[in-house]
A and B are shown apart, each in its own frame.
Chain A
């Protein structure tokens, strides 16, 4: 396999030298150009604007005054910011492994052709179809203290459930579980699609080699779908760092500050406290953190992701 890849690389090199027009590079730039233009318009320009705003004291309704790095200094000394940061990392650290492991297991179970499999697939995909607001509202009531579905269920077994969303010990866990349930179907479908593209001949080969199922998964399936694992990993990390909807609906950051995450804090500063300059500064910091995590994953991808040149 690898030999062939090398051989293939040699071919277009000569062509590139000929002319830019009509070359591989030309088509490369051409094909990505619509999205690059989009990037400039919807991302880069607003982003630069936000960076500028983070250096001002703009209150959204008045006029901005340039105040240099004051917002960033304030951030460092803001105990709430550090707590919110901790919560965000906690949420991310809880959600990402939970989500990806369950999604992969489900995809392995559901890739089989067995009667009724479509029903299961649909069931697990239902949360993805529901809007995050409605989904969170429903769970908020399921987590009700005495009359909620979960505690009623526990009651049957003689267990008195806690006030899930008002107990500092459980609130974050509850939100993580609800978020995982909401999006596990999404990653599952990505894995299912990837599993379909694994070359079936490889299975036969490994079967002939006498590999058992577990070995087959470890040596054949997993390496072949690493590009998708990489994809879901990056997407889930980014998504979890930007969590907002479920927090907004289920806990409002409470109890105390126990589930207040960065984007909630940004939203609160921007639209509740009208401190847009400060909100922008937090957003830039969040952006840098996510970028950092993504770059780390990106730079080590060659070590474990198949097909990455």
Chain B
């Protein structure tokens, strides 16, 4: 017994030890980012544990010289719409692919999956021409519609399909016998049972949209329509990058997500454990 207790403590210590080392590797770059964001422009590559001079003014400078609140708002509402659209269309199609039988479903699924396989660089030009003909250049529509209907949506389908496969058959059979429509089964049974998957997908889609650089670069011209990643790139000009400003802006772009994730991760990882038991 005593031996087992010792063993347990040893396991716990090594458990925390391993995790601490891995977390540290993940965090160091982030700390570097925060550290640099407070540095003087002339001290960027000198090692200073606490920047000297400590320039919190870098943040003010970013906020003053750029319409940062606009970038924030643009990034945020675009990411929200993309996420809602992806979750809805992705999970609906994912349900169909996982649980419903229809001819050619596998082929259709593979076709959709191929959307993720073509490098975005080559379909840029045709898509740009298409959007131009629709009069959508320099609007947010391409930034919202393309991901939902394209790669992000397909990612959503794939994730949801794989998770719906995990849902035990008995539940839907019972619902079918009760005379539920397929939409009701999807909405009342499948979705509630897949909360972890939906939470996961929400986070991924939101993050992908939040960090998307390429589409805004191509479709947005006006400053007031820019999103955060595009605005971040503006801190680089022909004589180099304003590291301290780039990093302050990056910190401002990342920290809200971090806080949300910290509080949300419990919800979507632990809050749903009951589902498995049923």
| Touch test A–B (CB under 8 Å) | yes
A47 with B123: CB separation less than 8 A: yes
Q: Is the CB of B269 within 8 A of A307?
A: no
Which of B102, B105, B163 counts the most A-chain CB atoms under 10 A from its CB?
Answer: B102
Give the chain B neighbours of A32 by CB distance below 8 A. 92-93, 96-97, 105, 108, 112
Q: Is B8 an interface residue (CB 8 A)?
A: no
**Size range of the interface on B?**
35 or more
Q: Is A120 an interface residue (CB 8 A)?
A: yes
Stretch at the interface among B49-57, B63-71, B152-160: B152-160
Contacts of B145 in A (CB 8 A): 42
Q: Which of A15-58 contact B (CB under 8 A)?
A: 16, 24-32, 34-39, 41-43, 45-47, 49-50, 53
How far, in Å, is B121 (CB) from chain A's closest CB?
5
The chain A residue with its CB closest to the CB of B92 is A31
B149 at the interface (CB under 8 A from A): yes
Known interface pairs A4-B169, A27-B183; A35-B118 also in contact (CB < 8 Å): no
Please state if A127 and B26 are interface contacts (CB–CB under 8 Å). Answer: yes
Contact of A142 (CB < 8 Å), options: B28, B90, B232: B28
CA distance A139 to B26 in the complex (A): 11
Closest residue of chain A to B173, judged by CB?
A8
Contact between B113 and A294, CB atoms less than 8 A apart: yes
Given known pairs A46-B127, A132-B211, the reply for A267 and B121 (CB within 8 Å) is yes
User: Once bound together, how far apart are the Cα atoms of A271 and B182, in whole Å?
Assistant: 48
- Check B101 against A28 for contact (C-beta < 8 Å): yes
Q: Would you call B165 and A308 a contact (CB within 8 A)?
A: yes
Interface membership of chain B positions 239-274, coded 1 if the CB is closer than 8 angstroms to chain A and 0 otherwise: 000000011001001100110011001101110110
Any B CB within 8 A of the CB of A290: yes
Contacts of B269 on A, CB cut-off 8 Å? 111, 121, 192-193, 196
Known interface pairs A35-B89, A43-B123, A186-B204. Does A27 touch B158 (Cβ–Cβ under 8 Å)? no
Q: Is A65 engaged at the interface, CB distance under 8 Å to the other chain?
A: no
Contact A4/B232 with A149-B32, A193-B268, A196-B272 known, Cβ cut-off 8 Å: no
Q: Is chain A's interface secondary structure helix, strand, loop, or mixed overall?
A: helix
CB atoms of B261 and A129 under 8 A apart: yes
The answer to whether residues A190 and B200 also contact, given A24-B102, A118-B266, A235-B155 and a CB cut-off of 8 A, is yes
Per the 8 Å Cβ criterion, residues 141-192 of A in contact with B are: 141-142, 144, 147, 149, 152, 181, 185-186, 189-190, 192
Beyond A224-B166, A295-B110, is A35–B153 a contact (Cβ under 8 Å)? yes
Tell whether, in the assembled complex, residue B15 and residue A197 are in contact, meaning their CB atoms are under 8 Å apart: no
**Chain B residues numbered 104-128 whose CB sits less than 8 Å from any CB in chain A:** 105, 108, 110-119, 121-123, 125-127
Q: How far is the CA of A37 from the CA of B145 in the complex (A)?
A: 12
Total contacting residues, chain A, CB less than 8 A: 110
- Does A123 contact B27, Cβ atoms closer than 8 Å? yes
| B126 & A45 in contact (Cβ 8 Å cutoff) | yes
In the bound complex, residues from chain B placing their C-beta under 8 Å from that of A205 are: none
Residues of A within 8 A of B115 (CB): 39, 42-43
Contacts of B90 in A (CB 8 A): 35
- Given A46-B123, A133-B229, A25 and B262 touching (CB < 8 A)? no
- B4 sits at the interface (CB 8 A): no
Give B residues with C-beta under 8 Å from A.
15-16, 18-20, 22-23, 25-30, 32-33, 45, 47, 89-90, 92-93, 95-97, 100-103, 105, 108, 110-119, 121-123, 125-127, 130, 145-146, 148-150, 153-155, 157-159, 162-163, 165-170, 173, 176, 182-183, 186, 194, 196-197, 199-200, 203-204, 207, 211, 213, 229, 232-233, 246-247, 250, 253-254, 257-258, 261-262, 265-266, 268-270, 272-273, 275-277
Apart from A186-B204, A290-B117, 12 more pairs, CB < 8 Å = A4-B170, A8-B169, A42-B146, A53-B125, A109-B18, A122-B258, A126-B30, A130-B254, A131-B250, A144-B45, A147-B45, A287-B114
A-B contact pairs, 21 of them (CB 8 A): A11-B176, A25-B100, A28-B100, A32-B96, A35-B112, A42-B127, A53-B122, A53-B125, A111-B269, A126-B30, A138-B29, A149-B28, A199-B168, A227-B163, A238-B117, A244-B119, A262-B119, A266-B119, A291-B114, A294-B113, A295-B110
